[in-house]
Structure 1
């Protein structure tokens, strides 16, 4: 949930369905202009006592944001409170309980994304050390209750906090206790978008299993490989899930518009404030009949805002968001980008992946989504192949795809180097969650977490 930023071009009224369609059409780019964007969140804690800092307290989240302005980041305000930052490396924003996110700028190569992340690590460590703050690279708070966590002063979060309990049991856990890493992927045409959407949606459980990193809840094992992924199964059925219509023959921009028009609204942003429209109908808004804003019709930025309030495993904006991975150490972010770029930007591997999933049924898709949070890499596809075996099948093909891209850094290394963390997991058959659980059973407690799960910990790539 990145900080809201819009352009003046989004201030004109929505006059027809074509205006809704243009958001997606504007994302079409020739292959030479395809980019990758990374988003990575981390949990912030006070080194002194491991508590989550509030926004206002000395050395808290507000001071953390202010500290970044020394590096040229420009503050973003809401009601005179700094709630985000913008700069050459993208945007820094706050998740509901103060989870700290960098939404990186669109980059031409994974090498550039890696350099961006390294800059962010340096800046985060400098400011964090001054304030006595640490950062955990996990998909879920391992030891905090909801009541232990603050709420950031963002209007949309207040609205969501009040609405979430009405539509699911775990929505507040999603907001307050989880972290993710994401990769944003371009498409060349509507047909290219459709193909990438289908393949990435089908393979999202593989990404969830490979990046599973949330096995603890309130100090104890929770029985899941990715409890973060489980949380999404009971958050809000109207705006989550696998989207079966994506696999229909007539899927395209128009079908996604229909889906988004059926997603209940959260809010409307006007004159610097969020107006509660939770549960209301965007179609009514288009008719000028929205109860929250009677006799007013939406502008294009309202549609852009609304697109950000659906949370399927893959989300369409003017690009495709890959949303299946748990939060982890900073160096897992380029690994996720390498995973998706190798599959989705290489026509040969994209065709191979498309052929693989053609034999999967809708029941296979549903079962994968339902079982992967608990079983992780052991999850079976249609009772046949495990996700671990599928990952091992794709592994050499992913490496080959990135070698074919032949994009080298200043050391002459291609982008396949960023697949290394995934290779370690596939070779051992042990996810990050599996390793954390082994450490827990070895020590009998979670004392090791704050030493061994540092978000900025060195990795093989450093």
Structure 2
């Protein structure tokens, strides 16, 4: 989740609708300036007993963050607590229960993405060796109850945790027990944004299936392959889901602004602290009628904050965020941006991908999204086929799109190699969660602690 810092001196009050549309318009870039931003989270555990370390215990989350200083990272504080580290490779931040996230810097190609990821994992592994800490690449804690997990000292989390039980049954699980990989991508125009949004939203269930990696809850199989994805279906219906309006004629920035104005607020950030505005209306805020700040109107930073509090399967800010994948190990971190860049950053590939899904009804899209958390590649798609059949076609398109980019490393290799781990999943028909379940029922003999051998 986003790491908030104090705004600069210039933070204009929002006086017009144009200012609400401005962040999306500001994201427009010519193709040669398109970049790739990759975010990935991992679970942190103590080697000796696998507990999730607290923020302030010896060699806990705070110390892990501070140890990154030896690699050139600089602390970001909130109310005296270190909540993130900033460096050339982006930002390392803490999620609500101490999951560790790298929000990578925008880079030009996937070779740079993988190099960035590799540097980060090398650094945290060195810190882990010093602190007796390991890192687990899964979509969800396999054995921890909510009560066993620590809470990090970050103001927005306190507000969200109070609000989540009011609007859904699994929101606290989303915050405390899950990990994801996300990819942030650019667009050159409103029309291109809309086409990329529609295509990626329709295909997001395929990404969920390919990366499904959360089959355990509290030590036992939970009946799902991506329980993390299922959690989003009962978190908060006002700020999650497949966004049917994206597929309607005329969709663009204005329509997304309308959606965001209908998403209830979480907070307002003032003078270094978060003011609880959970459930209140941003429209009232625009009118100076927000009950917790009577007479005040929102600033540009308030709107940016609000844009970060919706969690649909694809999210728009000044770029598009692909949000469907479970967390995973190093090779799958690199595979997710490869999958989406191949589909969305080449014009012919984008056209071909949209052609595969443009005839689906909204009901069919919703049915697929709801089936994938349990069935992954075995889910039905329109036309009497399985998702794995579509996966083969989509992977071929992604590969062609990456090849067309012609981005080579020093050895002369293009970016298509980053898809190999996904090719193997499609050919075998077994997603990561199914392989873990095979081990659980086989060589692990039902001993969930063996999952820690799957760490980074």
TM-score by length of 1: 0.97
Within 5 A, what are the aligned runs for 1:150-299?
A: 150-299=150-299
Alpha-carbon distance in 2 for matches of 1:299, 1:395: 43
The root-mean-square deviation of aligned C-alpha atoms, in Å, is: 1.0
The CA deviation string for residues 6-51 of structure 1, in whole angstroms up to 9 with x for no partner, is 7638611111010011100000000001110000000000001000
Q: Corresponding residue for 1:310?
A: 310
Unaligned runs of 5+ in 2: none
Q: Corresponding residue for 1:446?
A: 448
Alpha-carbon distance in 1 for matches of 2:198, 2:368: 15
SS of equivalent to 1:303: helix
SS of equivalent to 1:51: coil
Alpha-carbon distance in 1 for matches of 2:191, 2:397: 23
| Conserved 8 A contact 2:339-2:395 | no
Q: Corresponding residue for 2:401?
A: 401
Alpha-carbon distance in 1 for matches of 2:437, 2:391: 22
Q: Corresponding residue for 1:86?
A: 86
Shift of 1:192: 0.1
Shift of 1:400: 1.8
Structure 1 segments, 4+ long, off by >4 Å, are: none
SS of equivalent to 1:279: coil
Shift of 1:448: 1.9
Instruction: Please identify, of 344-353 and 439-448, the stretch whose mean Cα deviation from structure 2 is larger.
Output: 439-448
Alpha-carbon distance in 1 for matches of 2:34, 2:117: 19
Within 5 A, what are the aligned runs for 1:306-385?
A: 306-382=306-382, 384-385=384-385
SS of equivalent to 1:196: helix
| Conserved 8 A contact 2:349-2:400 | no
The CA deviation string for residues 389-412 of structure 1, in whole angstroms up to 9 with x for no partner, is 111122222212211111101111
| Conserved 8 A contact 1:139-1:179 | yes
Shift of 1:383: 5.8
| Conserved 8 A contact 1:40-1:333 | yes
SS of equivalent to 1:8: coil
Q: Corresponding residue for 2:429?
A: 429
SS of equivalent to 2:430: coil
The CA deviation string for residues 428-456 of structure 1, in whole angstroms up to 9 with x for no partner, is 110000100000010222132111x21x3
Shift of 1:191: 0.1
| Conserved 8 A contact 1:2-1:94 | no
Q: Corresponding residue for 1:460?
A: none
Taking structure 1 as reference, are residues 410 and 211 closer, same or farther at Cα in structure 2, changes over 3 Å only? same
| Conserved 8 A contact 1:343-1:398 | yes
Instruction: Please identify, of 279-288 and 391-400, the stretch whose mean Cα deviation from structure 2 is larger.
Output: 391-400
Alpha-carbon distance in 1 for matches of 2:6, 2:424: 40
| Conserved 8 A contact 1:37-1:183 | yes
Q: Corresponding residue for 2:62?
A: 62
The CA deviation string for residues 134-175 of structure 1, in whole angstroms up to 9 with x for no partner, is 000000000000000010000000000000000000000000
The CA deviation string for residues 329-354 of structure 1, in whole angstroms up to 9 with x for no partner, is 12211100000000001111110111
Alpha-carbon distance in 2 for matches of 1:342, 1:10: 38
Alpha-carbon distance in 2 for matches of 1:192, 1:296: 36
| Conserved 8 A contact 2:239-2:312 | yes
| Conserved 8 A contact 2:91-2:104 | yes
SS of equivalent to 1:44: strand
Shift of 1:384: 1.6
Unaligned runs of 5+ in 1: 457-462
Alpha-carbon distance in 1 for matches of 2:107, 2:2: 18
Alpha-carbon distance in 1 for matches of 2:383, 2:292: 48
Q: Corresponding residue for 1:459?
A: none
Alpha-carbon distance in 1 for matches of 2:267, 2:154: 12
| Conserved 8 A contact 1:10-1:300 | no
Alpha-carbon distance in 2 for matches of 1:172, 1:12: 34
Alpha-carbon distance in 2 for matches of 1:17, 1:51: 48
Alpha-carbon distance in 1 for matches of 2:33, 2:449: 46
Taking structure 1 as reference, are residues 372 and 383 closer, same or farther at Cα in structure 2, changes over 3 Å only? farther
SS of equivalent to 2:163: helix
Alpha-carbon distance in 1 for matches of 2:359, 2:5: 41
Q: Corresponding residue for 1:42?
A: 42
| Conserved 8 A contact 2:352-2:397 | no
Shift of 1:87: 1.0
